[in-house]
Each structure stands twice: as structure tokens, then as C-alpha cells.
Structure 1
Amino acid sequence: MTTAARPDLATPLVAWYRENARDLPWRHPEFGAWGVLVSEFMLQQTPVNRVIPHLEAWLQRWPAPTDLAAAAPADAVRQWANLGYPRRALWLHRAAVEIRDRHDGVVPRDVDALLALTGIGDYTARAVAVFAYGDRHPVVDTNTRRVLARAIDGRSQPGPPSRRDLEAMAAILPADVATSAVVNAAAMELGAIVCTARSPRCEICPLRDRCAWLAAGRPDTGDDRRKQARYEGSDRQARGAVLKTLRDAAAHAVPLAEVVPDWPDALQRDRAIDSLITDGLAEASDEMLRLPR
């Protein structure tokens, strides 16, 4: 991502966002820092439309970090249901315990304090500080990186993530703190619904008169686009089947021999069980398997 002089992107982004942003629950001021934190955990690798009903159910059951901290880890894994990547449920539970024990049950505002919580990386820490507390930090996700790569560098897709992405985003943020939060959200939203990876709608883009990629004729710069591994028949699918069996068993342990016994690949099933135990998502004893207590 270059750091050369660049056109004003913030002004058209803000104007477009105020007219076109989706009405998402975590964008409402009253949603609170805990709601924003939970939403960020859920939105990692899971589409918005799948997250919303799970998020609402989660917050109804555990409206504050202290509520989740008082629950068993197994309850968090069950509530996570089929959102995928269930380690996020365990990490969120551990983060809730840490928020209760270190921060009197209040989600911290400081980026470093957020980074010290389980399961929170640089993106999530900045997102909470900006979208929950309105602080001025650059926040960069995959969608933002694509917008910056096209508008500033003239590339069809961004390269590998780097600190330069944060520098590029920081350079377009206005000095006004409140407006800077809107610019962060607007860049993400633009990448999600207009400046998409496969079918960008340049004709309605608010940056079309200042986009380097569009001005160059939308060249395919040959950037690497990672293919998502096939789910059908994968170890991920086997792990999901094992976890579903344990969730459906409620608070009971399941005999190992009865954990998806008809799975077509017994070695894969055993590998899935072993990996869940390693990740802390399952516990085994006396030939029985259960969710973590």
C-alpha cells in the first residue's frame, strides 16, 4: 500500500455511508461495548445474515460479560451452535471471565487492554475501541483492504496483510474523532456491498471519480486470491459432526463408540475427536466424551 499523496476519500465515503449503510444491530449506539465485542467474535469468517439471529440469542441469554463468565464453557459452545469455528465460543467465554476479573465486568476501551484478552487480535481490539467507544484508530478488515488497494494503488485485489494497510487507512482518516469512526465503518461497508471481490459495482461507487483502479481500466493485477478449502468431507466437517453430537447430548457425556459411529472415515472421526480435545472443545474420560465443563 503506497503512502504517496492521495485524493480525499473520507468525504465521499461518509456521504455515501450515511445514505446507504445497512441497518445492522451493532451500529446502534445503545448496542454497547459487550454487544460490539460479541459481534466481532461472531463475524470472523461468518456472514452477517447468519450472525444476526445468533448474536441476538446470545445477548438475550448473556447480556453482560459477567453473565457469560458465570456460565459453563459447555453452555457457550452449545449456544454457538452451527456458526462454525467453535473455538471462538471458548475464547469469548475466557475473555468474559478476564473482563470480569480484571476490569470489573466492563469491556475495556484501551487497545492494549483489549489485546490482552483471550481471542482478541489487532483488528478486533481496534474495532471495539472505534465502534463501541468512538476512539480514533484505523480499522482494517478484508473489505477495507480491497477498497484501499483499488482506490489508492490501482490493484484489483490487495496483497498479503501488513502494517502498511493500517498506515494507509490512518492517512485517510479525518482529524475529527467522531467522523473518523464513520470513515472506518464506511470503507468496510463499501467493500462489503459495492467494491466486492468478484463483482464490483463501480458505476455506483462514491469513489469512482478518484479510484486509481477504475481510472486504469480495472486491470487484473494478478493478485493471489485464496480459495477456501472444500468443506464436504473435510476434517472441519467431521469436527462439526462430533460437536453436534455433544451439543445434542445436553449435559451428558457420550460413549466414544456412539460419537458419529456411521462416519465414513473412522480415522478422520478419531482425528476430529483428538483435535477437539486438544483445542479444549471436548473432554474425554473412561471412554466417554463431553463438552468442556
Structure 2
Amino acid sequence: MSEIMLQQTPVVRVLPVWRAWLDRWPTPAALAAAGPADVVRAWGRLGYPRRALRLHAAATRIAHQHRNEVPNNHAQLLDLPGIGSYTAAAVAVFAFGQRHTVVDTNIRRVHARLFGAKALPAKSLTAAETRLADRLMPKDTELSVKWNQSVMELGALVCTARSPTCHECPVFEQCAWIAAGRPEPDYVPKGQSWHGTDRQVRGAMMAVLRHSSDPVPVSLLLTDRSGAEQLATRIENPGRDSAELLARLWSLPAPPEQRERALDGLVKDGLASRRDNTASLPD
């Protein structure tokens, strides 16, 4: 659960949601028994809400095919819905103490600086990086687990992307990047755009759906501020949160075709249901 929640999301945002999920659904069977709408609603504002549905699908498979126990077999982990190579390896290593190569952004950055004299790793994972990680990992299983954990923490806490605290680094004297004079990155990292994108509109629509106990008229999701006053009367007692979320959605400078595209995308991804001119969280 934590590995999926932590994908592209910082620990500080994940921790309270992770704890709430474990309190509410302490076993795979408990999560599998929940409805998709409850799962998506409980995901809150973590972002990339399809991950919630993937977790639900994986829990259902675990409950039905693995006797309600997360499998400790790497191949079986890979076979679970929504589980890729990194997540399968991370669960096998950190949950079950097995020897597998784990390569996340933090580990890649440490390797790039320590051995490649590069400020940042390549924009996407390369075969050469994977081979290097394989070669560096200790043969001893117990030591390999500690190695993966240690290098990951080194990247997360010391060898950070923007402001590395090199004076605290235990391998400062062996670092090729330091020896090369800390050269600048080959590229400028760019975060994913948000304002004005379909993702922003989808997120605003999801917020409205999560806070509505009844199906929401599609017209309310697709309109903008200019048509909102007339349509708002079609929701009885929307509540303060719903009214504010609708106002936020209406205020977005999104043309009608973008709003329609965003809603269609939510339906296609299984994050919303649309029927009888209304929309709601998935059934």
C-alpha cells in the first residue's frame, strides 16, 4: 500500500492517508470488500487517483487467490494488477527481505553522482543504470536489503536533487561528482505542468464528486462561471464544501471541449460513472 501511495507523492502527504487506510482496511480482504466509490473518496487529494483503483484490484486478487496474504514471490507480485517491476522488487525487498535490485529516483541520483560524476541521472531509467545497480548490490541477501535501504535513504535525506548536504555524506571523499567540481546538470528538471491542463480540470471534478453524496448533474461539471448561477439551483442544499468546490471548478479557464474531455477521461479510467445526465464516483 505504501509503495503505491508513494509513487510521485512525498511521504508527508502519504503518511496520514496511509494510516487512515490501514485503520479502515487492515487486510486485503477488507479493502477488497469496499466499493470503488469509497476507495476513491478515501484517496482524497493524493493525486493520480487511478492508483486507488489499482490498489483495490490488487487487494481483490490477493484476497481471492492468495488467501488474504500478500504473496512473497516476486513473480506473483508482478502478476498483481497495477504492480510494475519497481513496486514488485521494493515489496519483495522491504517487506520480505529478499535480494532484488531496487532502483528509484533517489538511488539513481546517488549512483549518477558517486560513480558517473553527473549531477542528475538520465531523464528516464536506462539499461546501463540497471546493470550498475545489479553490479553494486552485495551478494549476501541480508546485506543487500540494508544496501537498498541505505542508498535510498542517502538519496532522500542527504544526496537530494536541489540542495545536497555533501558535508554530511559518508562517501563524500569517494564521490566522482565532487571530484569533478560538482558540474551542473545536463538538463533542467521540469515538473509536470498543472495549471490549465486536463489534469487540473479532472482534479477539480473529482473533488466535487468525492464530496457529493448524490449524483451530480453533468451540466454542473461542464459549465463555467458564466452559466453557474442558473445551474446551481439544481443542487438542493449542496453544503459549504460542495458549493466551494463547484465554484473552484467553474472558475477554471477551461473551454467546453476540455471540460467534456476531462469528464470522459474520468469515466474511461473508471474513476467516475455517467448515466441519466448525472455523474458520480464509480459504482
What range is the shorter-chain TM-score in?
0.7 to 0.9
Counterpart Cα distance in 1 of 2:42 and 2:222: 20
Q: Is there any run of 5+ residues in structure 1 with no aligned partner, and where?
A: 1-37
Per the alignment, in what secondary structure is the counterpart of residue 81 of structure 2? Answer: coil
Paired residue for 1:231, among 176, 189, 194? 194
**More relative contact order in 1 or in 2 (CA 8 Å, sep 6+)?**
1
User: Secondary structure of the equivalent of 1:259?
Assistant: helix
Look up the equivalent residue of 1:186 and give its one-letter code. S
Partner of 1:179: 143
When Rg is computed on C-alpha atoms for both structures, the one with the higher figure is 2
> Alignment RMSD, CA only?
1.4
Structure 1 residues 163, 108: CA separation in 2 closer, same or farther (over 3 Å shift)?
A: farther
Aligned length: 254
1:205-224 CA distance string (max 9 Å, x none): 111111111111112251x3
Are 1:273 and 2:263 an aligned pair? yes
The one-letter code matched in structure 1 to 2:182 is: R
Q: Distance in 2 between matches of 1:165 and 1:230?
A: 27
Distance (whole Å) between structure 2 residues aligned to residue 44 and residue 202 of structure 1 = 26
* Displacement after TM superposition at 1:291 (Å): 0.9
- Structure 2 distance, partners of 1:165, 1:100, is 36
Does 2:48 align with 1:85? yes
When normalised by structure 2's length, the TM-score is 0.86
Distance in 2 between residues matched to 1:101 and 1:226, nearest whole Å: 43
Secondary structure of 2:274 counterpart: strand
1:259 CA drift (Å): 2.4
Is 1:111 the counterpart of 2:74? The answer is yes
Percent identity between the two aligned chains? 50
- Cα contact 1:241–1:260 (8 A) shared by 2: no
Equivalent AA in structure 2 for residue 278 of structure 1? K
AA in 2 matched with 1:166 = T
Residue number in structure 1 paired with 2:100? 137
- Which SS does the other structure have where 1:272 is aligned? helix
- Match status 1:259 vs 2:249: no
Unpaired runs of 5+ residues, structure 2, are 226-249
Distance 1:169 1:68 in 2: 35
Q: CA shift at 1:260, angstroms?
A: 6.4
1:196 is matched with: 160
Deviates more, 1:110-119 or 1:80-89: 110-119
* Larger displacement relative to structure 2 (128-137 or 179-188): 179-188
1:83 counterpart letter in structure 2? L
Cα distance in 2 between the residues matched to 1:93 and 1:188:
27
| 1:180 Cα offset (Å) | 1.2
Q: TM-score, normalised by structure 1?
A: 0.83
